[in-house]
Amino acid sequence: MKQKIISVVGPTAVGKTRLGIEISKQIGGEVINGDSIQIYKEFDIGSAKATLEEREGIPHHLIDLLEPDAEYSASDFKQDVKQKVQEIHGKQKTPVLVGGTGFYVQAALYDFNFSSVKRDHQYSDRLLEQIEQDGIEPFYKRLQEVDPEQARKIHPHNIRRVIRALEVYETTGKPLSVYEQEQLDTSYYDSYIIGLTMERSLLYERINQRVLDMVDQGLFEEIEQLYDRYGGDIQPMKGIGYKEVIPYLRGEYGKTEAIELIQRNTRRFAKRQLTYFRNKLPAIHWYEITPQNAEENFKTILADLEGFLQNGENS
């Protein structure tokens, strides 16, 4: 019998964190973080990491898991989620996977087989030497030519993932995106996926305000300390809300422009998140959230969850 898991997905600032905690309080659940930046220690304000007070005593897993300079992948996340689901069920609790990093959530729920294509270390080492000599641009352009779908999901500065995608294509003749599409089309778990949406103009207002709140909470000071300690090339510093501040710290533009860039990039990211979830996770149960009726929205979701918890998604 498949193990039950609840997942809460949706765009940034829509209210996933609050809902995940509320669900856990009501059903006896524990939260598993599904945000790729919150996994890192010290990356607190810019990742909108819930404070201990905000967690209301609900255990949270895979938060503050790694040192800031550690590397981490969706494959690592899948394995960590599998372990945490076992632990939580062992305590007679229900895991609640909460986060907006679409590929991480998809990989965990659908048990992606990342090891199906063996590594060619000679190729990857050679490619890394060429990138160090010529820069990443020509190789990212090559990826755009041979696997445009994968290129859209990988930031050009994520050298490790660019190399892996090219390695898969050059050694097998098949794009990595095709391998991913061939993964299981049914969930590894008995899962109930909750998707939160919000009227776009309202969501964008919330995003803009949340960025201003983060600035007031010390976002720029947090990033300056991290930048001084680790530099700008570590994996979590590539995240939205962090990468826009680095040029400001270098004196390339002012604070106001940095804030506006964070707001703009976060709005664009929210749009991409919705597109990703709608295309890649067709089994989502969507709920439109209105802040003035948030409590009623949550009651509706919790009522829908009762049947799942009693009978399972496919009963």
Tokens of 30: 């524990």
Burial class of 87 by CB neighbour count within 10 A (0 to 12, 13 to 18, 19+): middle
Nearest to 11 by CA among 61, 59, 43, 48: 48
Nearest to 91 by CA among 30, 34, 31: 30
As a whole number, mean pLDDT of residues 117-121 equals 75
**Is 95 flagged in the annotation as binding?**
no
The three-state secondary structure class of 33 is strand
Residues 6+ positions from 224 with CB-CB distance below 8 Å: 245, 249
Backbone torsion region of residue 166, taken as left when φ is above 0, otherwise alpha when ψ lies between -120 and 50, otherwise beta: alpha
Whether the predicted pLDDT of 154 surpasses 80: yes
Question: Of all residues in the chain, what percent carry a pLDDT higher than 70?
Answer: 96
pTM score, whole prediction: 0.81
The three-state secondary structure class of 80 is helix
**Is 13 flagged in the annotation as binding?**
yes
Average model confidence (pLDDT) for the chain? 92
Question: Of all residues in the chain, what percent carry a pLDDT higher than 90?
Answer: 72
**Is 16 flagged in the annotation as binding?**
yes
As a whole number, mean pLDDT of residues 51-79 equals 95
Beta strands per DSSP E along 99-180: none
Question: What is the C-alpha separation between 169 and 183, in angstroms, rounded?
Answer: 17
Whether the predicted pLDDT of 179 surpasses 90: no
Question: What is the C-alpha separation between 177 and 197, in angstroms, rounded?
Answer: 27
Tokens of 84: 């945490």
pLDDT confidence bin for 186, thresholds 50/70/90: low
As a whole number, mean pLDDT of residues 73-85 equals 93
Question: What is the C-alpha separation between 56 and 30, in angstroms, rounded?
Answer: 11
**Is 256 flagged in the annotation as binding?**
no
Tokens of 189: 């778990």
DSSP 57-69: T--EESSS-B-TT
As a whole number, mean pLDDT of residues 154-178 equals 87
- pLDDT at residue 1, as a whole number: 82
The three-state secondary structure class of 257 is helix
Domains delineated in the chain: 4-112+183-311 (3.40.50.300), 115-181 (1.10.20.140)
**Is 300 flagged in the annotation as binding?**
no
**Is 175 flagged in the annotation as binding?**
no
